[in-house]
Chain A
């Protein structure tokens, strides 16, 4: 199982997943990704993605990709994780994947504990 974390450390609205991953580094090994195509490196593996979900107030577990709003690719600047996963899904190349979405802001300790318990549970299910 591979744990991937996305985000931008310099943007307050996009760095919470990275902070959570740092908090959990004693428990789990995360691979920090800067570009969605990095998922291609792990196509044969079971993947858990930790990322910030815009407009969300609470952490959420996403196992059905249809839950993710598909934005049109207006330009390559829209080539984000959601679009990339939808693309892999349409290409029938999507690995077994779980997304843990965290809100842009919130109680870091509480969210960390919630994420930790989900990863433990998902890793048991995946293995």
Chain B
């Protein structure tokens, strides 16, 4: 029997993607996942601009993860001129990043992933029956937005972070107020974890390698060594290990590590840094099915829920301990060179690289998003997963495939470099 599935517009993901799936005699004969977003050209747009413009421009890659691009771009520029930010700046960047992760994980979990598991077409359709759950979601989203706005100056495309420091500091009383909100939000994080632990996840193991930043002593976020099961490398050597290639059918590049697919995101982060989760996040992890080296991508949802607790605890630590000092941003001593910013963002590891002239003009840029790194892995997971679904009707196969893709929380707008399914 021959089946052809063409999903021309995969829903409840960030951006647009297409999947072409061919099945013949119980075997997958074709499995092509591609981005159908328009090309974005950000790497070209920043060329010729000044070093302090990179983060402002690349923030526009995505409204959902604008803080991520801001911090990654700034980190790369600072790396290029060998500048090390102050402890206060690092803490503020961390707080901004955690605020965004709280907002992003809560929205993905409740509005994109949860309807699949509860059997609804959308969050809107389940709103009347699952009012309390969505109230939890809205409270977490609001909290994330408040932190981003208070620390970054705006809830989208933050303006306070700059190479060399911070332009406008949050008030000390704002941090105290966030600490109180964060304390209350721990209940919401626990409820989220309990909810996602109660769901039935398909049993599937990806034939992949999990990669994430790893840094001794902390749950790596803004720095560390890119680490997998087979080894690790420092960010400055990423071109030796990570290759991007283009397929004509996709506007997103595919990324491989030495010709092998790999996975980034909350699950790989927990696989590599579980010992550095906050106390309460560790307790949640113990009660979860996640074990070291879990490779079931569906469990990425549980990993995100656990990370919610960690981000709340860590944000609270910062808000309670940081005493704001009015530091002026340091003027960077410009020099010719190339720098790499590599940070952990909601969907995985984000890479920005800039080459600067001695006058601080950007002469080269490269951006690799988490979704670009996960793209091949998602495609191959679908190829491996679909044979177990063949007894199901087409509609159910499609739903299961979409669930698999959504578990990665992909953002094709950013990677456009994402899902429509064509069955063949």
B135 contacts partner chain A, Cβ-Cβ < 8 Å: yes
A40 contacts partner chain B, Cβ-Cβ < 8 Å: yes
B311 contacts partner chain A, Cβ-Cβ < 8 Å: no
> Hey, which chain B residues are within 8 Å of A34, CB to CB?
154-156
Chain A: minimal CB distance from B106 (Å): 11
Binary per-residue interface labels of chain B (93-136) against chain A in the complex, 1 for a CB within 8 Å, 0 otherwise: 00000000000000110011000000001111001100100110
> Hey, which chain A residues are within 8 Å of B142, CB to CB?
37, 40
Among B9-17, B214-222, B298-306, the stretch that binds chain A is: B9-17
Question: Which of B145, B155, B413 makes the CB contact (< 8 A) with A77?
Answer: B413
A63 to B222 CA separation, bound complex (whole angstroms): 47
A86 to B121 CA separation, bound complex (whole angstroms): 15
Tell me which residues from 48 to 73 in chain A have a Cβ below 8 Å from any Cβ of chain B. 70, 72-73
A77 to B107 CA separation, bound complex (whole angstroms): 11
Tell me which residues from 74 to 126 in chain A have a Cβ below 8 Å from any Cβ of chain B. 74-77, 79, 83, 86-87, 90-93
Question: Which of B13, B121, B156 makes the CB contact (< 8 A) with A75?
Answer: B13
> Hey, which chain B residues are within 8 Å of A74, CB to CB?
9, 11-13
Known: A76-B111, A76-B112, A92-B131. A35 touches B156 (CB 8 A): yes
A35 to B100 CA separation, bound complex (whole angstroms): 14
Chain A: minimal CB distance from B114 (Å): 12
B21 contacts partner chain A, Cβ-Cβ < 8 Å: no
B372 contacts partner chain A, Cβ-Cβ < 8 Å: no
Number of B residues, CB within 8 Å of A: 29
B175 contacts partner chain A, Cβ-Cβ < 8 Å: no
- From A74, A79, A86, residue with most partner B Cβ within 10 Å: A74
B63 contacts partner chain A, Cβ-Cβ < 8 Å: yes
A76 in contact with B108 (CB, 8 Å)? yes
> Which residue of chain A has its CB nearest to the CB of B413?
A77
B131 in contact with A77 (CB, 8 Å)? no
> Hey, which chain A residues are within 8 Å of B14, CB to CB?
75-77
A90 in contact with B124 (CB, 8 Å)? yes
> Hey, which chain B residues are within 8 Å of A35, CB to CB?
145, 155-156
> Hey, which chain A residues are within 8 Å of B63, CB to CB?
77
A73 to B64 CA separation, bound complex (whole angstroms): 14
> Hey, which chain A residues are within 8 Å of B135, CB to CB?
91, 93
25 cross-chain CB contacts under 8 A: A37-B138, A37-B145, A38-B145, A40-B138, A72-B124, A73-B112, A74-B11, A74-B12, A75-B11, A75-B13, A75-B14, A76-B14, A76-B108, A76-B111, A77-B64, A77-B413, A83-B124, A86-B124, A87-B123, A87-B124, A87-B127, A90-B124, A90-B127, A90-B128, A93-B135
Excluding A72-B121, A87-B123, 5 further A-B contacts by CB distance (< 8 Å) are A37-B142, A74-B12, A79-B111, A91-B128, A93-B135
